[in-house]
Structure 1
């Protein structure tokens, strides 16, 4: 399937900026699940200082901001050919060793609720257990936007019983690690069946299964990623794979607007 993606992020400030840095992960890589056909990254109001692959293999740009620009615009767009691989993205690659993905992070640290959920998965084959875990998370954490934020932990979301795709991915990664699987967070895009315009990127989780490599599980939708998915960045949690992050020095007030379209 050939997907066309447009992702515009715009920051508006009420006064000049003393200094700011932004880290941008918005460049998808080719792999077993997808081939990047065309892609551009247009930046206005900021300077690209350096481009590098981070420890997880994500294409990363470091932008600097200072002075008069009151609007920073970042537009990522292009076309990606996706393949049907049953959610399998292949063997582990990147600079980070596989064992690193078995370690918890502040957002995925297990508490009593996470441990109880993992214990309820039961026995069976490796892939079977992971699908069962995905189903349990979908039952326990209802998709309700606005009930969590980027600082909500997996334990908090599971206890609350509501969240969004980011929370589903965090709960899955936390439980999968308790079950003995290296697990990671994936950020990217999903072509919706009922709309083209979207207000946020998508997220899901992957577990590393012996003999298969990384296998994806989208608990928010109850499926393994198919041809509607475009993967962009990975990390142990949202903070390590988020599309844009940064710091701002000064008193300027920031207003953010995001516009995304994904279509065939």
Structure 2
């Protein structure tokens, strides 16, 4: 499948700032499951700084803008060819050992309740395969956290989301990471895009899911919000310990001000789009 993406992030400041600096992880990974045909990241009036591939195999680029800056827009767009690998991440070159992703954060930190939830999810599965155990954790999250927009905040922890029983893809991912850690399974937060279908959840902006390191397979993606493993409808951008660490855009501004962020993401099937254009 060939997916076309247009991702626009527009920052508006209530007063001009002296300087703005950002780091971008907006370039899709090159793996056996996806290949970049064309991709660009446009940053108006910005100076491009250093770029590097981090230990997790993700490309990071820095940009700065000298003020006064009242508005700033970042546009990432392009065409990516994808295929279904049943969620298994293959051909992604990285240097960080999987064991590094047993580390929790403030958001994914374990509590007694999360540990009990992991035990409940894996009850009677001592002899099950590592993959079956990972699927059981993902099912538990899907069953106990209902997809409900605007009920949680960016700072909502995994424990809070599980207790509240509702949230968005970010919350599903944080809870699954925490439960995996409780079961001694390395897990990480993944950002990317998803082509919406009638039944999909959480594709109004950039999407998120978890990757669990399964013995014998390596990293395997689990989208608990949609009860599936990532397939050809997904584009992987990058990863981290939690949503903040994996954010596609991170930045600082020089000058005290209030910031408004407007994000729009459009993901389309290039083949269907071309067919529709020919029929018009």
Same-fold status (TM-score > 0.5): yes
User: Which residues in structure 2 correspond to 1:197-216 (within 5 Å)?
Assistant: 199-216=204-221
CA contact (8 A) 1:98 1:182 kept: yes
- How far is the alpha carbon of 1:245 from its aligned partner? 1.4
C-alpha separation in 2, matches of 1:28 and 1:150: 23
Whole-angstrom CA distance in 2 between matches of 1:21 and 1:59: 17
Q: Which residue of 149, 156, 173 maps to 1:152?
A: 156
Kindly provide the CA deviation profile for residues 56-100 of structure 1, in whole angstroms up to 9, marking residues without a partner as x. 221111122331232111000001111111110137742322210
1:100-139 to structure 2, matched below 5 A, reads 100-120=100-120, 121-122=122-123, 123=125, 124-139=128-143
User: Does residue 71 of structure 1 match 2:71?
Assistant: yes
Indicate the residue corresponding to 2:188 in structure 1: 184
Change (3 A) 1:127 1:91: farther
**What is the deviation of 1:101?**
0.7
Worse-superposed segment, 175-184 or 46-55: 46-55
Q: Cα offset for 1:251?
A: 2.5
Structure 1 contact 90–212 (Cα < 8 Å) conserved: no
The 8 Å contact of residues 16 and 66 in structure 1, kept in 2 or not, is answered as no
CA contact (8 A) 1:29 1:232 kept: yes
Aligned to 1:174, the other structure's residue is in SS state helix
1:20–1:64 CA contact under 8 A, matched in 2: yes
Post-superposition offset of 1:252: 2.7
Bigger drift between 115-124 and 16-25 goes to: 16-25
Q: Does 1:235 align with 2:214?
A: no
What's the CA shift for 1:44?
A: 0.7
Paired residues of 1:91 and 1:214 also in contact (CA < 8 A): no
Contact 2:30 2:92 in 1 (8 A): no
Matches of 1:154 and 1:89, distance apart in 2: 24
Checking the alignment, whether the CA contact within 8 Å between 2:192 and 2:238 is kept in structure 1 is yes
Corresponding residue for 1:257?
A: 262
Q: Using structure 2 for the length normalisation, give the TM-score.
A: 0.89
After the TM superposition, list the runs of 4 or more consecutive aligned residues in structure 1 that deviate by more than 4 angstroms. none
User: Size of the alignment, in residue pairs?
Assistant: 264
Q: Deviations over 1:6-36 (max 9, x none)?
A: 1000111232212232121110121021111
Structure 2: distance between partners of 1:119 and 1:93: 33
Q: What displacement does 1:184 show?
A: 0.9
- The answer to whether residue 24 in structure 2 is matched with residue 24 in structure 1 is yes
Is 2:201 the partner of 1:166? no
More displaced stretch, 245-254 vs 135-144: 245-254
RMSD: 1.9
State the distance in 2 between where 1:219 and 1:199 align.
16
**Superposed counterparts of 1:53-64, under 5 Å:** 53-64=53-64
| Contact residue 45 and residue 71 of structure 1 kept, 8 A | no
Residue in 1 aligned with 2:273?
Answer: none
Which structure 2 residue ranges, 5 or more long, are not aligned?
A: 270-280
